[in-house]
């Protein structure tokens, strides 16, 4: 029972991660893919924070009441990773907006079809 | 008693989530998402007090603000978006 | 009792996360998917709080739930919110995902139990950081100490990454400009409520910026909170008014200024024969030097994050003419 | 002693109210009645729950911030409700009249 409860976080995090991966693989819409990547990313964050937790421990802010602190190192890593994650997401979204302007579609299959067509000229498709 | 309040809030969150999934139209979903946000603020306050989370009040304050901004953003961009998507079934 | 409650909240929140992601996979309306991602971030932040990571919860709530949602929504306005109906359910994809998941679950079996104080991660370096923070830096928040002082290099790198992300978005989309016909409708109730609310958000941002040494908070969070005050202004009163308050053209300079403040703090210590970003050089007393260094560095981070976030918002919400 | 009993009563009432609100949000037939159920209960339940916590903490800096949270929620909830209702009315969502449904129990848009 103890073993089960000790690992339940990891298992659910892996389920989440795989759902994010499935979103990236299976949906052909680029924004949906980006949401999938973000879900994957968030589940990695949860995994790291789960590592840092110590039972009976308090947050790594020094007080007189306790001597047991949770591990601060994963917190630092994930704190910056979240901000960098949103920065990369915004670059991805900007790319998606440009793709939409150039191709008129966000569907991966449509974009491949248009690319296979030799007559296609990206500049002429740009939306004003 | 505080444990009962926490359990009630968790059940509330679950019920609100069901409404957010079911719809049936987008306004219902916006309402449910906003309601979910306020219930999380309450859960942070009550849970934070019961479990002794550090500086939970700051985070609850921040959640209340972010929830407001987020809901307004949803409504604003939805209104802006609508004219182009006239043929959808809202 | 307390332990059980903590575990109950933990498991409930993880289940909510699974349900939310499942619903996000099922829906074809991208607006709904984005909103669901917003509450996904909310629940994640709550989970971080439950797992003792106060600072991370703060960041996730400000950045993930607040800014990412706004960003995705404003991108959807430019691209359209409906997924193609021929949304495919890839059998091969499902197979790959199940296989990867099974491998990972097999790998996880060897992990130490959650909360085990003797797990290998907790034995090295983390106790030293906690001890050194008490001895050499003397601020209560270990996370801020590690972030700004012990691992100042990493944080400098991350600030530069954020700056370059802002530059990339600027190159791709341009600054944009406000379009009068897209202005929000006049809603008196909203105007009256939002005005004092913005002041509250800005004060709270300053509090988070300067309270980061003692409690949860710091430059990253404060920058985003500060920016979200202006984002709120732009949402309610209109883009063109927001651009009068904070002109878009000064934002790239502010972002660069933030990075430069960080870098210069490092250079000062380099010039006085210490290593880069060793704040002991900043004052005759090492401890107060550390305090000063952390304050400066956090200010640089806050400025850079604030201007980059607002810049990205302007780029997405403005109207762009590429020709 | 009395304060702790009062705090318990507040927490209990708040919990019951949030539950009722959620059940209303789930069960009521059309958008406007659901909005009503959610917003009204929320505006009362939030202060009750937070007052319950304040009574338990005593008067510290934290309780001042909690009072601020109450103020924010009491102001923000009706505002959001108002804006949402207005948006829905502009979005051609019409309330469901009794004559149309006749307690069919069916949900309509």
| ipTM associated with this complex | 0.88
| C257 near A CB under 8 A | no
A60 upstream amide cis, omega within 30 of 0 = no
What pTM does this model have? 0.89
Partners of residue B74 in chain C, C-beta under 8 Å = 31, 35, 69, 73
- Per-domain residue ranges of chain A: 2-125
d(CA D25, CA B28): 9
Tell me the residue length of chain A.
128
* Predicted pLDDT of residue A39: 92
Q: Which of A119, A120, A85 is nearest to A103 (CA)?
A: A120
Reported CATH class of domain A2-125: mainly alpha
Answer for the pair C122, A57: CB distance below 8 angstroms, yes or no: no
Per-residue pLDDT tens for A50-101? 888 888 778 888 887 777 888 888 888 898 889 889 888 999 999 998 888 8
Nearest-10 Cα torsion for B60, B62, B67, B72 = 150
User: Which tops the pLDDT comparison, C192 or D90?
Assistant: C192
Give CA separation, C126 vs B72, C121, C134, C143, in Å. Answer: 42, 8, 13, 11
Per-residue pLDDT tens for D52-80? 989 888 888 888 889 999 999 998 899 99
* Predicted pLDDT of residue C128: 85
d(CA C232, CA C133): 38
Partners of residue A106 in chain B, C-beta under 8 Å = none
DSSP per residue, B17-35: HHHHHH-SSHHHHHHHHHH
- With CA atoms as reference, the chain B residue closest to D19 would be B12
Lowest mean pLDDT across C49-63, C256-270, D91-105? D91-105
* Predicted pLDDT of residue C86: 61
Residues of chain C with CATH 1.20.120.1200: 1-123
Task: Provide the number of CB pairs (under 8 Å) joining chain A to chain C.
Answer: 290
* Predicted pLDDT of residue C240: 84
D18 is written with which tokens?
């949030």
Work out the pLDDT band at C201, boundaries 50, 70, 90: very high
Q: What's chain C's Rg over C-alpha atoms?
A: 23
Which of C2, C182, C216 is facing B58, going by the closest CB pair? C216
| All partners of chain D with 3 or more CB pairs under 8 angstroms | B, C
Work out the pLDDT band at A2, boundaries 50, 70, 90: low
Residue D60 main-chain phi, psi, to 5 deg = -130, -175
**Fold exhibited by the domain C1-123:** 1.20.120
Partners of residue C315 in chain A, C-beta under 8 Å = 94
Inter-chain CB proximity B10 and C1 less than 8 Å: no
Which residues have CB under 8 Å from C280's CB, separation 6+? Answer: C269, C274, C286, C289, C290
- Per-domain residue ranges of chain D: 2-93
DSSP per residue, C1-33: -HHHHHHHHHHHHHHHHHHHHHHHHH--BHHHH
Mean pLDDT over each residue of chain C, to the nearest integer: 85
Which of B26, B53, B70 is facing C65, going by the closest CB pair? B70
Q: Which of C35, C18, B55, C267 is nearest to A15 (CA)?
A: C18
Is residue C115's pLDDT more than 70?
A: yes
DSSP per residue, A40-55: HHHHHHHHHHHHH-BT
Residue whose token pair is 């969150």:
B13
Is residue C314's pLDDT more than 60?
A: yes
d(CA A28, CA A109): 7
Is residue B83's pLDDT more than 60?
A: no
Answer for the pair A66, C140: CB distance below 8 angstroms, yes or no: no
Give CA separation, C123 vs A68, C126, C130, C144, C145, in Å. Answer: 13, 7, 12, 21, 19
d(CA D29, CA D34): 7
- For chain B, helix, strand, coil in percent to 5 are 85, 0, 15
Is residue C320's pLDDT more than 80?
A: no
Per-residue pLDDT tens for C280-303? 877 788 888 888 888 889 999 999
């Amino acid at each position: 029972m103890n073993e089960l409860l000790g690992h339940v976080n990891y298992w659910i995090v892996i389920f989440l991660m795989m759902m994010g991966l499935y979103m990236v693989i299976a949906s052909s819409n680029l924004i949906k893919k980006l949401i999938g990547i973000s879900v994957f990313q968030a589940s990695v964050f949860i995994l790291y924070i789960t590592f840092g937790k110590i039972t009976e421990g308090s947050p790594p802010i020094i007080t007189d009441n306790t001597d047991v602190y949770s591990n601060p190192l994963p917190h630092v890593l994930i704190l910056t990773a979240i901000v960098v994650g949103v920065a990369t997401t915004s670059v991805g979204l900007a790319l998606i907006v440009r793709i939409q302007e150039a191709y008129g579609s966000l569907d991966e299959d449509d974009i491949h079809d248009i690319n296979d067509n030799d007559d296609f000229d990206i500049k002429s498709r740009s939306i004003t | 008693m505080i444990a009962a309040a926490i359990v009630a809030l968790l059940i509330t969150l679950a019920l609100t989530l069901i409404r957010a999934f079911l719809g049936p139209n987008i306004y219902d979903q916006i309402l449910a998402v906003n309601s979910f946000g306020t219930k999380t603020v309450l859960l942070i306050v009550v849970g934070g007090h019961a479990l002794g989370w550090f500086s939970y009040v700051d985070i609850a304050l921040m959640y209340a603000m972010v929830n407001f901004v987020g809901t307004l953003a949803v409504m604003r961009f939805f209104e802006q978006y609508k004219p182009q998507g006239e043929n959808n079934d809202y | 009792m307390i332990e059980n409650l903590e575990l109950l909240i933990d498991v409930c929140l993880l289940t909510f996360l699974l349900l939310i992601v499942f619903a996000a996979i099922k829906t074809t309306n991208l607006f709904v998917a984005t909103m669901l991602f917003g509450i996904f971030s909310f629940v994640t932040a709550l989970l971080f709080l439950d797992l003792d990571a106060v600072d991370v919860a703060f960041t996730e709530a400000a950045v993930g739930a607040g800014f990412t949602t706004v960003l995705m929504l404003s991108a959807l306005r430019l691209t359209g919110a409906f997924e193609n109906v021929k949304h495919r359910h890839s059998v091969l994809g499902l197979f790959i995902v199940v296989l990867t998941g099974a491998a990972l679950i097999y790998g996880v079996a060897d992990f130490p139990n959650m909360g085990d104080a003797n797990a290998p991660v907790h034995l090295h370096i983390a106790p030293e950081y906690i001890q050194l923070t008490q001895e050499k830096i003397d601020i209560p928040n270990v996370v801020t100490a590690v972030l700004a002082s012990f691992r100042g290099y990493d944080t400098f790198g991350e600030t530069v990454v954020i700056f370059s992300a802002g530059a990339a978005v600027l190159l791709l989309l341009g600054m944009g400009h406000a379009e009068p016909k897209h202005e929000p409708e006049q809603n008196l109730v909203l105007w009256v409520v939002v005005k004092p609310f913005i002041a509250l958000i800005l004060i709270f941002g300053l509090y988070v910026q300067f309270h980061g040494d003692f409690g949860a908070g710091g430059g990253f969070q404060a920058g985003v909170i500060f920016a979200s005050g202006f984002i709120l202004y732009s949402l309610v009163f209109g883009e063109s008014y927001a651009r009068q308050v904070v002109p878009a053209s000064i934002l790239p300079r502010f972002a660069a200024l933030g990075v430069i403040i960080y870098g210069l703090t490092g250079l000062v210590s380099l010039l006085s024969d210490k290593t880069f970003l060793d704040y002991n050089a900043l004052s005759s007393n090492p401890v107060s030097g550390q305090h000063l260094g952390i304050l400066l560095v956090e200010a640089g981070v806050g400025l850079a994050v604030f201007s980059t976030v607002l810049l990205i918002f302007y780029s997405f919400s403005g109207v762009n003419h590429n020709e | 002693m009395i304060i702790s009993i009062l705090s318990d009563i507040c927490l209990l009432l708040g919990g019951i109210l949030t539950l009722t609100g959620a059940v209303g949000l789930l069960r009521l037939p059309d958008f406007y009645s659901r909005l009503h159920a959610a917003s009204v209960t929320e505006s009362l339940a939030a202060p009750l729950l937070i007052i319950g916590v304040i009574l338990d903490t005593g008067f510290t800096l934290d309780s001042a911030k909690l009072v601020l949270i109450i103020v924010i929620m009491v102001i923000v909830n009706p505002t959001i409700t108002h804006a949402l209702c207005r948006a829905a009315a502009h979005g051609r969502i019409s309330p469901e009249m009794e004559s149309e449904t006749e307690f069919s129990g069916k949900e309509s848009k």
